[in-house]
Amino acid sequence: MAFYLIHELRGLKTEKDGRMRIRANTALPAAAAEDLVKKLLKISGISKAQANPRVGSLLIFYDSTKSRNQALRLLQANEKLPAMKKLMGVQTSSQAVMGGFFPLFRYLCIRPFLPPTLRIVSAAIGAIPFLLKGISALLHGKLCVEVLDASAIAASLYLRDFRTVSMLTLLLGLGDTLADWTRRHSLESLTESLTLNVHTVWRKVNGTEVSTPLAKIKKGDLIVVRSGSSIPVDGIVEEGVGVINQSSMTGEPIGVKREAGGAVFAGTVVEEGEIVIKVTSVGDDTRFRQVATFIEESEALKAGIQGKSERLADMAVPFTFGLAGIVYLLTRNFIRAASVLLVDYSCALKLATPLAVLASMREGTHHGMVIKGGRYIEALNDADTIVFDKTGTLTNASPVVAEVIACKDHNREEVLRTMACLEEHFPHPVARAVVKKAQDEDLVHEEEHAQVEYIVAHGVASSLHGKRLLVGSRHYIECDEHVDISPLSDAIAEQSALGRSLLYMAEDGKLAGMLAIEDPLRKEAVSVIAKLKEEGFTRVVMLTGDDERTARAIAARAGISEFRAQVLPSDKADVVKELTEKGCKVLMVGDGINDAPALSQALVGVAMIDGTDLAREVANVLLTRPDLNGLIAARRLARSTMHRIHTNFAATLILNSLFLAGGLFNLLPAATSAVLHNLTTLAISLNAMRPHLKRFALTQQPSGK
């Protein structure tokens, strides 16, 4: 086993302190991860250490350079420990949960046959781990749920109520087992759903770009990556300059500049520019690192309601201790005071909400969506306005070229051939449609043009045989480049009336021709928009770069009354911002490079799986099937999750208040209150995980049933 320093930030408070993320070259079982965290926290100056066993990752916060170096030396020493190597046999989720339920088997099937003395010893031994957790939390200055659990167990030991001690440790252990099991299953599903979806790359050979399967790329090859595309390898920039979005690796949202000599990593995205990369590493390792970091970041994105529940749980602990103290002062009855400690609100409050969120994230993967954090479940539930980008989102992800129209002095086939030659370098659905049309007509084109420049949301520019070529939207050709489009005014009017998008080509400042793009609505678009209105979306808005007439025709077919035409990338983000400032809670759906700013601006951004890499990276929710019905499923999943959370919250308050009152007024024995409280916590946790448990039960059935 080996550890690697993946990312580090310094100067969080002073020049010497900071945080670093370390990753092992394999997954860590829970025992190994827990052991490392304990050792790290014993180092003076290590303020916090977290482990993610599934991806073999450690996040370490340090106060000084000395503590940082001690932590690194500790990890280096642990690489060679035989004991650590023995721990590397990773348990499956099923094995882990079976092991976790062994105490229940022991309690029900073995304990009744033990002599009384052995029952007492068994209860005391079972209590030790929980007592140590509470003591450890106190030593670190924390008054948390672990301290409360330890106090309740200690009070029962003091009262010699060993039956209650056994029941408490059993139920607390079952709660931990269920939580860990849910986490394991959820992370496994998320990992399977998130892989780097790149199959071919542009390899540079003797100055020429050749489309090559990623599987055939090897160390030392040169590959070209342009704006909006994922980087599929680890490597060093040989040529060009680009702004790289490294949020999948570091969690930092701001792009970083990379030029010759700079390192780039698989799974990151080129936001702007074009770079030539010399490959240093390619394959499953780099993909796994990207997936692993994403999972870490998604776990950290807690829902607001989850944060509230955890804060309420922490606030409830001192309240419970205070109430127990008051009861003892008033009654001088330790048993009554202990009954308060045995019934508290903290356990269920702290367990149920994160379990519900994680179970729903996992459930989402089975319904065609990846939700990148708990906060976005809450956002999906709260959104009241939905904004659609038109091309590739409302319309079919694979538009087709309906007409090729050339000006008088130009050849139709040559117009199509040239436009395909330029567009094939870019991963947008319209570009793919142009290339496919040329292929269908057997129009072969050679790579004779100069470097292609991509102007975001406008078009492309290049040169061929000494002539400057422009391909793009009407706004780009007519307004920005001042090309006269009147030679095709009749054809423009005819095609626009049919609701088709138009892509223009100019040569040396004069219009050469245009393509009419048939961008049919997705077959499910009309029904989905109607259902979204039923699901509580009060406003549905369509954004498009098309002219007013085309936009109106498509919006009418989709059943949308509000639309914005001839919208630029910055305008899309501005529209979302404007709606937000008016009090709307905006859900933005997009698929292209030019949708990224709007996706980031919205309360929650949703991207389609067949969209560009940048859109998928920036979006908070990814629909893993090319079907808008995923929006309905996402909304309903979010609503059912929030309903379950609110139900659990109400049940926690009502039932525990009743148990507490029963203990205070001697209506319930302390042991009964404790059992009822812990059974309630367990039941609420199971309710939180209900979709997860139901699916697990179905998957465990033998085939044929």
At 351 the pLDDT is 67
Give me the number of domains the chain comprises.
4
Query: Do 391 and 527 fall into the same domain?
Result: yes
- CA 388/CA 396 separation, integer angstroms: 13
Say if residue 588 is in the same domain as residue 630. yes
CB 504 within 8 A of CB 477: yes
- Report whether 231 contacts 263 (CB < 8 A): no
pLDDT (0 to 100) of residue 93: 43
Is residue 221 domain-resident?
yes
Q: What is the pLDDT of residue 300?
A: 46
The answer to the question of residue 181 being in a domain is: no
User: What is the mean predicted confidence (pLDDT) over 505-512?
Assistant: 93
Q: Which of 149, 221, 389, 610 is catalytic?
A: 389
Residues 408 and 488 in one domain: yes
Residue 271's nearest CA partner among 606, 472, 569 is 569
Decide if pLDDT at 81 tops 80: no
Angle at 377 between CA 371 and CA 382, to 5 degrees: 140
Tokens of 696: 């697990």
What is d(CA 634, CA 140) in angstroms, rounded to the nearest whole number? 41
- CATH number of residue 413's parent domain: 3.40.1110.10
Residue 411, Cα to own-chain centre: how many angstroms?
49
Average pLDDT over residues 255-270: 82
Residue 549 lies in a domain: yes
**Which is nearest to 586 in space by CA: 539, 633, 547?**
539
Q: Is residue 224 over pLDDT 70?
A: yes
Position 387 scores a pLDDT of: 96
Quickly count: other Cβ atoms within 10 Å of residue 280's Cβ: 15
* Mean pLDDT (whole number) for 138-153: 80
Residue (of 365, 376, 472, 497) closest to 422 by Cα position: 472
**pTM score, two decimals?**
0.55
Per-residue model confidence (pLDDT) at position 318: 82
- Say which CATH number the domain at 78 has: 3.30.70.100
In one-letter notation, the amino acid at residue 485 is: I
Kindly tell me if the per-residue pLDDT of 504 is higher than 80.
Answer: yes
What's the whole-number mean pLDDT along residues 258-281? 85
Q: Which two tokens stand for residue 701?
A: 């059935």
630: Cα within 13 Å, side-chain hemisphere: 25
Side chain identity at residue 491, one-letter code: A
Tokens 């056994």 identify what position? 166
Which stretches within 140-161 are classed as H helix? 145-158
Amino acid letter at 294? F
Most confident range, picked from 287-296, 341-350, 604-613: 604-613
**Is 474 buried (19+), middle (13-18) or exposed (0-12) by CB count in 10 A?**
buried
In a shared domain, residues 467 and 571: no
Euclidean distance between the first and the last CA atom of the chain, given in angstroms as a whole number = 43
Per residue, what are the HEC states of 547-616? Answer: CHHHHHHHHHHHCCCEEECCCCHHHHHHHHHHHHHCCCCEEEEECCHHHHHHHHHCCEEEEECCCCHHHH
CA torsion angle for 495, 497, 498, 502 (degrees, to 10)?
A: 40
Please give the pLDDT value at position 483: 93
Residue 162 contacts residue 71 (beta carbons within 8 Å): no
Higher pLDDT, 165 or 630: 630
Q: What is the mean pLDDT of residues 398-425?
A: 88
Q: Is residue 678 part of a domain?
A: no
Least confident of 89-93, 222-226, 588-592, 662-666: 89-93
528 phi, psi to nearest 5 deg: -65, -45
Instruction: Please answer whether residues 529 and 556 qualify as being in contact, where contact means their C-beta atoms are separated by less than 8 angstroms.
Output: no
- Residue where the block lists tokens 């059935």: 701
Average pLDDT, the chain: 77
Q: What is the CATH number of the domain that holds 223?
A: 2.70.150.10
**In-domain check, residue 231:** yes
pLDDT in tens, 477-495: 998 889 999 999 999 988 8
Per-residue pLDDT at 516: 92
User: What single-letter DSSP state applies at residue 91?
Assistant: P
Give the Cα separation of 540 and 548 in Å (integer). 17
pLDDT of residue 14: 58
Residue 296 — very low, low, confident or very high, per pLDDT cuts 50/70/90? very low
Judge whether residue 188 has pLDDT over 70.
no
Signed CA dihedral, 5, 6, 11, 17: sign only: negative
Same domain, 538 and 633: yes
On the question of pLDDT at 223 being above 90, the answer is yes
Give CA 146 to chain center in angstroms. Answer: 29
Residue 46 lies in a domain: yes
Distances in whole angstroms, Cα of residue 387 to Cα of each of 390, 395, 441, 584, 624: 9, 14, 37, 11, 19
Q: Please give the single-letter amino acid code of residue 253.
A: P
Beta bridge partners, 251, equal: none
Q: Are residues 428 and 490 in the same domain?
A: yes
CA-to-CA separations, 550 to 77, 494, 519, 546, 599, in angstroms, rounded: 67, 11, 11, 6, 24
Indicate the residue among 518, 545, 572 that finishes a domain.
518
d(CA 51, CA 36): 8
Kindly write down the DSSP assignment for every residue of 440-492, as one continuous string: HTT----S-S---EEETTTEEEEEETTEEEEEE-HIIIIIIS----GGGHHHH
DSSP 113-145: GS-HHHHHHHHHHHHHHHHHHHHHHHHTT--SH
Same domain assignment for residues 386 and 531: yes
* 23 pLDDT above the threshold of 80: no
Q: Residue 526 maps to which CATH number?
A: 3.40.50.1000
- Domain final position from 607, 637, 667: 637
Note the pLDDT of residue 530.
95
Last residue of a domain, one of 576, 608, 637: 637
Range of the domain at 597: 365-395+522-637
Residues 382 and 408 in one domain: no
List residues bridging with 226 in a β-sheet.
274
Whether residues 277 and 380 fall in one domain: no
Q: Look up tokens 């308050």; give the residue.
A: 653
* Range of 330-339, 344-353, 462-471 with top mean pLDDT: 462-471
231, 263: one domain:
yes
573, part of any domain = yes
Q: Is 546 a catalytic residue?
A: no
Is 98 among the domain residues?
A: no
* Helix/strand/coil (H/E/C) assignment for every residue in 375-436: HHHHHHHHCCEEEEEHHHHHECCCCEEEEEEECCCCCHHHHHHHHHHHHCCCCCHHHHHHHH
Quote the pLDDT of residue 238: 94
Q: How many CA atoms lie within 13 A of 307 on its CB side?
A: 10
328 CB burial (10 A radius; 0-12, 13-18, 19+):
middle
Q: Return the closest-CA partner of residue 652 out of 363, 312, 361.
A: 312
572 and 631 part of one domain: yes
**By percentage, how much of the chain surpasses pLDDT 70?**
73
User: Are residues 518 and 464 in contact, defined by beta-carbon separation less than 8 angstroms?
Assistant: no
Same domain, 527 and 626: yes
The half-sphere exposure of 79 on its side-chain side, counting CA atoms within 13 A, is 15
Q: Which helix (H) or strand (E) holds 237?
A: strand 234-245
